[in-house]
Amino acid sequence: MKNKFLSKQHFIGETALIIVTLLWGGTFVIVKESLNDISAMTFIALRFSIAFVLLLPFIIKYRRKFNKGSVIAGFVLGVFLFLGFGTQTVGLQYTTATKSAFLTGTAVVLVPVLQVLIEKRSPSPGSLIGIVFVFTGILFLSSEGNSIVNLIEEVGKNFNIGDLLTLICALFFAIYIIYLDIVSSEYPFSVLLTMQIITTAVLAYFASFIFNSFSIEKTNVNFSNTLIFGLIYTSIFATLITTAMQTRFQKYVTPTKAGIIYSLEPIFASILAFFLLNEKITNFGLAGAVLIISGLVISEIYDSGIKNER
């Protein structure tokens, strides 16, 4: 198995994923505000369609790299990406931005389990220690309580359909992280990126049609300034750029370490939710942020120490 620790590519990969996470952090607040003017599936469809249009020159340039294997791999990635975004975006209509960030963050626990089941390899000791810190931090960060008792009660209280959908989205994102680790080194980056974007857009249009036909979600679009800004930000920064960087650089980082890095997202989301939506950040939240960052640092130092000893 190739070593993904301490190489130059490893640090480049981690830096790229941190940037991806930073860009993602703003989406919880922006998408939640945008959904006041558009139905969820329509938002996803337009978001990924804009990204696809911007990607067209890139597609034309690298069209000869498209083959059956790479197209299928990219399509599968797109399916998992759509299922993740779909359940997350619909769920966000029924839960808070901070709670959505927390439940999405549970993917950090699911990734190492799936890594063992699917890839048949165990996470490093440092990553497992980091996961404990990170998941504890996510619980604290998302808590509105001021004691351990309140925190435990809150986890199981007021659990609604939005929370369930967001929890399911965490599973799909975890599967996506694992599958991307498998195929990103085997197939051209350009094909994987293109197929993810177009697959997600097409599936979102199809889901929008089905939801509207069965009155699950009526198709609605009101091009307000908030929605236009939301589409611009998410299509360019939180779709095209983040998907490109994730597809290009995640292969230099283990899936579990990638999951830990992605767990920084609720920190950024909570900060923005505080300023834009007036959602409170408690002392527990601040402690959670420290724990999440500590988890990332500890996992990195621990694994680096083991590598040096070897």
> Is the confidence at residue 270, as pLDDT, over 90?
no
> Is the confidence at residue 285, as pLDDT, over 90?
no
Nearest-angstrom CA–CA distance, 149 and 41: 38
- What integer is the mean pLDDT of 112-135? 88
> Is the confidence at residue 47, as pLDDT, over 90?
yes
> Is the confidence at residue 250, as pLDDT, over 60?
yes
Nearest-angstrom CA–CA distance, 254 and 10: 9
Supply φ then ψ for residue 221, to 5 degrees: -140, 125
**How does residue 62 score in pLDDT terms, banded at 50, 70 and 90?**
confident
Nearest to 303 by CA among 4, 57, 2: 4
- Report whether 254 contacts 22 (CB < 8 A): no
Nearest-angstrom CA–CA distance, 49 and 205: 10
Q: Which comes out higher in pLDDT, residue 78 or 96?
A: 78
Residues 6+ apart with CB under 8 A from 64: none
